[in-house]
């Protein structure tokens, strides 16, 4: 695998993997693997999420965050550690920081519709009464992105010389989260901490993240040579990146690249930014121990064995969403 430095995020066509020729499928796997081994990000078109459905969710998201804070807080349950419903402004911070990010968000989780006993692990979703359409739209987007994520994971499995369906049972009724985010306007920047940013540099916890086009620029990814490069939301594309769970599973062969959302110029801080990522998680019992074929003399095992559920719990504490007790 090359040590290529990308000046921009590679763009791939998921149709080449799902409905292409054998050569197109092989090339998709190769290109995805190269990108994930280096920069950790790609953009993908023909992913199944229509502009109409995306637009509906963005409208519902803006409508919710446009409600009074007193109303939004009705949908915040501290007991759930931010895993369902609303999380208020500045509550989450990046690992290693204490200053809260300049954002608020809403979490929609897995709806188990079969007899899977894992249902008891998941709290019920919380739905705002003021926006009855929010539930139907959110769940449709959730299932669409979950299906897209399964295809990306199948390509990752092939790149790692695993069976194509390696991840299928591990993400069936997985603990995935759809997160509409509002980077709220700042009318007076002097009223927030000097080091406060929209989203401080971080890696994602999960297997992979699928990001619907954000409403404004600001997302940047840290290249391996230390240079920050911008990620622009390409019309019709999803941004799909590797999370920490895949990095651990592959013993750093695939990269959970650090990224951030920077503040705009001061005069533009009065403008809101919206973003809707889908964090694809496996079932809690998934073993994240490094794959045997990713451990070599040159790349010895780097991480202690841990399950996905244990790892998520650790990170929620580090992010300030859950107490150690």
Contacts of 27 (CB under 8 A, 6+ apart): 16
Query: What pLDDT was estimated at residue 93?
Result: 64
Residue from 179, 175, 222 nearest 203 by CA: 222
The two most distant CA atoms of the chain are separated, in Å, by 58
Residue range 189-238, pLDDT digits in tens: 666 656 666 666 778 899 999 998 755 577 888 888 888 888 876 788 99
**Pick from 185-189, 256-260, 313-317: least confident:** 185-189
C-alpha closest to that of 274 among 64, 92, 71: 64
Please tell me which residue, 34 or 316, carries the higher pLDDT value: 34
pLDDT classification of 279: cutoffs 50, 70, 90: very high
Q: Using one digit for the tens of pLDDT, what is the confidence trace for 47-100?
A: 999 999 999 999 999 999 999 999 999 999 988 888 999 999 877 666 666 677
Task: Dump pLDDT digits (tens) for 118-147.
Answer: 999 999 999 999 999 999 999 999 999 999
pLDDT at 1 over 60: no
176 vs 270: CA distance, rounded Å:
32
- What pTM value is reported for the model? 0.91
Cα separation, 167 vs 240, in Å, equals 17
The ranges assigned to domains in the chain are 11-318
- Selecting from 3.10.310.40, 1.20.1730.10, 2.60.40.10, 2.60.120.330, what CATH number does the domain 11-318 have? 2.60.120.330
């Amino acid at each position: 695998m090359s040590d290529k430095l990308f000046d921009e995020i590679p763009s791939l066509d998921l149709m080449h993997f799902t409905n292409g020729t054998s050569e197109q499928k092989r090339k998709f796997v190769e290109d995805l693997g190269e990108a994930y081994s280096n920069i950790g990000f790609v953009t993908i078109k023909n992913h199944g999420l229509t502009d109409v459905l995306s637009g509906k969710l963005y409208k519902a998201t803006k409508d919710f965050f446009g409600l009074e804070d007193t109303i939004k807080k009705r949908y915040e349950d501290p007991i759930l550690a931010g895993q369902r419903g609303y999380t208020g402004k500045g509550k989450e911070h990046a690992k290693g920081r204490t200053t809260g990010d300049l954002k608020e968000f809403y979490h929609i989780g897995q709806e188990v519709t079969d007899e899977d006993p894992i249902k008891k692990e998941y709290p019920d979703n919380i739905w705002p009464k003021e926006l009855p359409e929010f539930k139907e739209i959110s769940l449709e987007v959730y299932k669409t992105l979950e299906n897209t994520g399964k295809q990306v994971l199948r390509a990752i499995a092939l790149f790692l010389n695993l069976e194509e369906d390696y991840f299928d049972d591990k993400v069936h009724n997985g603990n995935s989260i759809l997160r509409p985010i509002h980077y709220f306007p700042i009318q007076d920047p002097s009223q927030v901490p000097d080091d406060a940013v929209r989203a401080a540099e971080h890696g994602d916890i999960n297997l992979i993240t699928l990001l619907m086009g954000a409403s404004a620029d600001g997302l940047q990814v840290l290249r391996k040579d230390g240079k920050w490069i911008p990620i622009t939301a390409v019309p019709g594309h999803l941004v799909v990146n590797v999370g920490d769970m895949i990095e651990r599973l592959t013993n750093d062969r695939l990269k959970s690249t650090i990224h951030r959302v920077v503040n705009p110029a001061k005069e533009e801080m009065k403008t809101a930014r919206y973003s809707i990522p889908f964090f694809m998680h496996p079932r809690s019992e998934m073993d994240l121990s490094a794959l045997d074929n990713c451990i070599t003399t040159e790349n010895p095992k780097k991480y202690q064995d841990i399950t996905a559920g244990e790892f998520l719990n650790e990170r929620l504490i580090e992010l300030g969403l859950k107490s150690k007790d």
